[in-house]
Amino acid sequence: MGPPGARMFHKLDPQSTNRVTLPQFLAHRARRFTWLDADGDGRVTRAEFDARRGTGSDAERASAFARLDPNGDGVITRSEWDADETQRFAGIDADRDGSVTRDEFLADRRRVCAERQR
């Protein structure tokens, strides 16, 4: 399927338009939130997060959870999730035109992979 992130971008852009808007990105990422929210109460607890996320060290999971739970109340709400995903989208949208191209997305994936290898 190509370079790191190519399959993921295809899931974001199933019509192969080579552009993904913020609403498309958020809709796709909402499915991940729903999957993490094992009991369906609209909130992801640290236990749910750890059980579903599974990869990475405890410190890495704790750091990721803390980033997603900025108010520190021990749960990730959908609004917190969407705010983080909006920020993520903005970081990927290199030319700031309101959409993410395949090239922008793949460049971001290469950057993330390189950071993880350090």
pLDDT score recorded for residue 19: 95
Greater pLDDT, 2 or 72: 72
Q: Give the model confidence (pLDDT) of 55-70 as tens digits.
A: 778 888 899 999 999 9
Res 82 pLDDT > 80: yes
Res 52 pLDDT > 60: yes
Taking CA atoms, 66 is separated from 17, 49, 74, 76, in Å, by 34, 11, 8, 9
CB contact at 8 A, 89 and 25 = yes
Res 50 pLDDT > 80: yes
Please list the alpha-helical segments (H only) found in 1-118: 6-12, 22-36, 46-53, 58-68, 78-92, 102-117
Domain spans in the chain, listed from the N-terminal domain onward: 6-117
Superfamily (CATH H level) for 6-117: EF-hand (1.10.238.10)
The span from the first CA to the last CA of the chain, in angstroms, equals 25
pLDDT score recorded for residue 1: 54
